[in-house]
């Protein structure tokens, strides 16, 4: 294993080290200061949707503890903070009257970041769609893309002067596949029609919001965050290799194609085009030149060919072969998938520079005498930083890394039982305790700073 100091020396001087969170996962204060419910507020209160009925009502109470949390980041030496802005705090009904108290919160938060020397990397949407918009069809309705552009305009007018970079949407795959096709995340749809409509609406919302943000601040570096899948055939059979290519297009090309080349993959259009309401000019709107993009990576996907009569992409996801290391959420640890994916994406698409906007691991180590010795997480991070360096050596322009996550938080359908943080949170007392991985990361960032 490389020491943090040795690892740090291998990154260029201008490489950025940060941490990441998301609004619904940490803020709490769900009904505070004019915020109205999001689809996750509703979904988490439906029996059987979230582990033990956990909700984000309180979460990490970041809404009230934000100053301490920023101090915590500063104590770890990180240089940038990636967070999300809660749409229902700004526009409680998704459109219409602006909630000034919501904007005031992010005003204070961003000012606090600037005062502490933290670079400001907000994301406009990390899954908390205002519930009122769900009544209009949510992400299946074209009107939601238009409302999102209006929201972007409002946010950038008030807060954009202090942003270092802005992302439009976080992980459209989760919003479309996981939420509208598989039914695992809010709103819990299991409909091919809803999925296809949501895909195009999300892509359109991205393009429209880039236009809206740039109309306010033309020099604001704009990006999009994608949790691209590193897809491998589970066997050496040619039919499984073909299935892996179909899966790649279904999970990745469906977003990378329109956003970076101005067109959906042919096979995606063949399977879903009639359900996507693609209108004249839409693809030009979606295909906005970006200053950067973000990759979220955790684990690879392995597939075999499904039966010929199966639905597109006719690829069945299979568990890894016996023996691989798994995190506590059951995800395979395979850092080669990280570097392979980066190189593959840059081979296939004309991409701008990249930030790793999320990477990390779920290990549920409990405190022992006040100490959380999460050696497995440190090992995971070392391997994945090595993968980033491997990709950079191959010419991939990775400019920075945001560790997921700063602290344990509401892990969506898994509730509070899965912990991704480098800082432990006691949800009863809201006490934050840095884990061994936090000390390791601080040493890495400090060594990089000294080496510059």
Q: How far apart are CA 429 and CA 352, in angstroms?
A: 43
Q: Is 23 helix (H, G, I), strand (E, B) or coil?
A: helix
Q: How far apart are CA 181 and CA 61, in angstroms?
A: 32
Of 204, 199, 206, 202, whose CA–CA distance to 223 is shortest?
206
pLDDT tens digits for range 182-227: 999 999 999 999 999 999 999 999 999 999 999 999 999 999 999 9
**pLDDT of 125 higher than 70:** yes
Non-local (6+) Cβ contacts of 61 within 8 A are 27, 28, 29, 430
pLDDT tens digits for range 350-375: 999 999 999 999 999 999 999 999 99
**315 bridge partner residues:** 305
Using alpha carbons, list the distances in angstroms from residue 221 to 67, 167, 224, 401.
26, 9, 11, 17
User: Is-contact 405 360, C-beta < 8 A?
Assistant: yes
Q: How far apart are CA 64 and CA 54, in angstroms?
A: 20
First to last CA, the chain: 22
For residue 189, what pLDDT is reported? 98
What is the rounded average pLDDT of the residues 278-307?
98
Instruction: Find tokens 């990775």 and name the residue.
Output: 398
H or E element that contains 295: strand 293-296
- CA atoms within a 13 Å half-sphere pointing along the CA-CB vector of 144: 23
User: Is-contact 50 40, C-beta < 8 A?
Assistant: no
pLDDT tens digits for range 233-251: 999 999 999 999 999 999 9
Q: How far apart are CA 104 and CA 121, in angstroms?
A: 17
User: Is-contact 435 19, C-beta < 8 A?
Assistant: no
Instruction: Find tokens 């979230």 and name the residue.
Output: 50
What is the rounded average pLDDT of the residues 102-126?
98
Residue ranges of E strands in 354-436: 354-358, 398-404, 423-426, 431-434
**pLDDT of 293 higher than 90:** yes
Q: Could you give the residue numbers annotated as active site?
A: 171, 358
For residue 264, what pLDDT is reported? 98
Instruction: Find tokens 């509401």 and name the residue.
Output: 410
**pLDDT of 307 higher than 70:** yes
Of 399, 401, 408, 451, whose CA–CA distance to 428 is shortest?
408
Buried b (16+ CB within 10 A) or exposed e, 215-239: ebeeebbbbbbbbbbbbbbbbeeee
Q: Rounded to an integer, what is the distance from CA 342 to the centroid of its chain?
A: 16
User: Is-contact 54 415, C-beta < 8 A?
Assistant: yes
H or E element that contains 82: strand 80-84
If one compares 324 and 402, the residue with the highest pLDDT of the two is 402
Q: How far apart are CA 358 and CA 375, in angstroms?
A: 19
Non-local (6+) Cβ contacts of 3 within 8 A are none
Of 107, 112, 235, 101, whose CA–CA distance to 161 is shortest?
107
How sure is the predictor about 121, in pLDDT bands with cuts at 50, 70 and 90? very high
What are φ and ψ of residue 226, in 5° steps? -120, 130
**pLDDT of 414 higher than 70:** yes
**433 bridge partner residues:** 424
Q: How far apart are CA 41 and CA 186, in angstroms?
A: 9
Using alpha carbons, list the distances in angstroms from residue 387 to 32, 302, 373.
42, 19, 24
Q: Model-level pTM?
A: 0.98
Q: What is the DSSP string of 348-364?
A: HS----EEEEE------
Sign of CA dihedral 134, 135, 140, 143: negative
If one compares 305 and 324, the residue with the highest pLDDT of the two is 305
Q: How far apart are CA 209 and CA 222, in angstroms?
A: 10
The average confidence (pLDDT) of the chain is: 98
**pLDDT of 115 higher than 70:** yes
What are φ and ψ of residue 287, in 5° steps? -85, 60
What is the rounded average pLDDT of the residues 254-270?
98
**pLDDT of 390 higher than 80:** yes
pLDDT tens digits for range 31-76: 999 999 999 999 999 999 999 999 999 999 999 999 999 999 999 9
């Amino acid at each position: 294993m490389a020491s943090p100091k040795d690892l740090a020396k291998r990154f260029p001087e201008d490489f950025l080290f940060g941490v990441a969170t998301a609004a619904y996962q940490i803020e709490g204060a769900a009904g505070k200061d004019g915020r109205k419910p999001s689809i996750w507020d509703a979904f988490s209160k439906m029996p059987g949707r979230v582990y033990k009925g956990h909700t984000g009502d309180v979460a990490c109470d970041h809404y009230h503890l934000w100053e301490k949390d920023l101090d915590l980041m500063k104590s770890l030496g990180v240089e940038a903070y990636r967070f999300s802005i809660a749409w229902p705090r700004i526009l409680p009904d998704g459109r219409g009257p602006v909630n000034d108290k919501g904007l005031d919160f992010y005003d204070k938060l961003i000012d606090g970041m600037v005062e502490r020397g933290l670079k400001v990397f907000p994301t406009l949407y990390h899954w908390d769609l205002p519930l009122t918009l769900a009544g209009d069809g949510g992400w299946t309705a074209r009107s939601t893309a238009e409302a999102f552009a209006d929201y972007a305009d409002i946010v950038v007018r008030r807060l954009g002067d202090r942003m270092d970079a802005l992302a439009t949407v976080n992980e459209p795959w989760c919003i479309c596949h996981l939420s509208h096709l598989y039914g695992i995340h809010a709103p819990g749809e299991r409909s091919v029609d809803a999925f296809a409509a949501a895909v195009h609406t999300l892509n359109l919302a991205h393009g429209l919001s880039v236009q809206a943000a740039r109309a306010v601040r033309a020099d604001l570096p704009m990006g999009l965050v994608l949790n691209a899948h590193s897809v491998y055939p589970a066997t050496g059979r040619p039919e499984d290799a073909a299935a892996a290519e179909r899966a790649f297009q279904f999970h990745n090309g469906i977003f990378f194609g329109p956003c970076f080349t101005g067109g959906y993959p042919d096979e995606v259009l063949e399977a879903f085009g009639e359900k996507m309401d693609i209108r004249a000019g839409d693809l030009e709107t979606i295909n906005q030149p970006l200053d950067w993009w973000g990759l979220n990576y955790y684990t690879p996907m392995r597939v075999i060919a499904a039966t010929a009569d199966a639905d597109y992409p006719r690829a069945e996801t299979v568990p890894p072969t016996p023996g691989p290391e798994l995190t506590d959420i059951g995800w395979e640890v395979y850092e080669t998938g990280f570097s392979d994916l980066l190189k593959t994406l840059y081979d296939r698409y004309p991409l701008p520079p990249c930030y790793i906007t999320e990477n990390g691991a779920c290990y549920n180590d409990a405190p022992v005498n006040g100490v959380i010795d999460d050696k497995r997480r440190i090992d995971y991070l070392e391997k994945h930083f090595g993968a980033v360096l491997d990709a950079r050596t191959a010419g991939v322009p990775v400019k920075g890394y945001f560790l997921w996550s700063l602290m344990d938080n509401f892990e969506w359908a898994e509730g509070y039982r899965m912990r991704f943080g480098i800082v432990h949170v006691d949800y009863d007392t809201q006490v934050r305790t840095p884990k061994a991985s936090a000390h390791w990361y601080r040493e890495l960032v400090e060594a990089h700073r000294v080496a510059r």
